[in-house]
């Protein structure tokens, strides 16, 4: 067996705590004291990655689309940093 920590655990921690931090940052940014949590682009988020195949398949009866967008706010960045600290 491999000694040390598993990298998948770190990735899972980063994803979960980034999502939780982003949600918490979005909720808290509505209050005046935490308005700095909404720093960023559109709606308080910075878009890092945007990929769309629109429409991927069009059969005139239904369309299949595929898209992936990665957006960050201050809360999700804090969550990712906290995940790395917890992992250590």
Q: Which residue range(s) make up the domain with 54?
A: 7-87
Confirm whether 37 is domain-assigned: yes
Confirm whether 57 is domain-assigned: yes
Average of pLDDT values for 29-43?
Answer: 76
Domain total in the chain = 1
E strands, the chain, in order: 46-58, 63-72
C-alpha span between 82 and 87 (Å, rounded): 8
CA 20 to chain centre: 9
Confirm whether 73 is domain-assigned: yes
Confirm whether 64 is domain-assigned: yes
* pTM score of the predicted model: 0.71
Average of pLDDT values for 18-35?
Answer: 86
> What pLDDT band is residue 1 in, cutting at 50, 70 and 90?
very low
C-alpha span between 18 and 21 (Å, rounded): 5
Confirm whether 2 is domain-assigned: no
- Decide if 40 contacts 74 (C-beta within 8 A): yes
Confirm whether 81 is domain-assigned: yes
From 14-18, 63-67, 74-78, the region with the lowest mean pLDDT: 63-67
CA geometry: angle 70, 19, 11, nearest 5 deg: 80
Confirm whether 1 is domain-assigned: no
Average of pLDDT values for 58-71?
Answer: 83
pLDDT of 40 over the 70 cut: no
């Amino acid at each position: 067996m491999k000694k040390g920590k598993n990298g998948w655990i770190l990735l899972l921690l980063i994803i979960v705590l980034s999502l939780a931090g982003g949600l918490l940052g979005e909720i808290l940014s509505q209050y005046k004291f935490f308005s700095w949590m909404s720093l960023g682009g559109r709606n308080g988020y910075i878009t890092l990655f945007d990929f769309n195949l629109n429409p991927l398949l069009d059969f005139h009866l239904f369309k299949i689309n595929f898209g992936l967008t990665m957006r960050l706010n201050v809360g999700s960045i804090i969550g990712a940093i906290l995940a790395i600290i917890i992992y250590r």
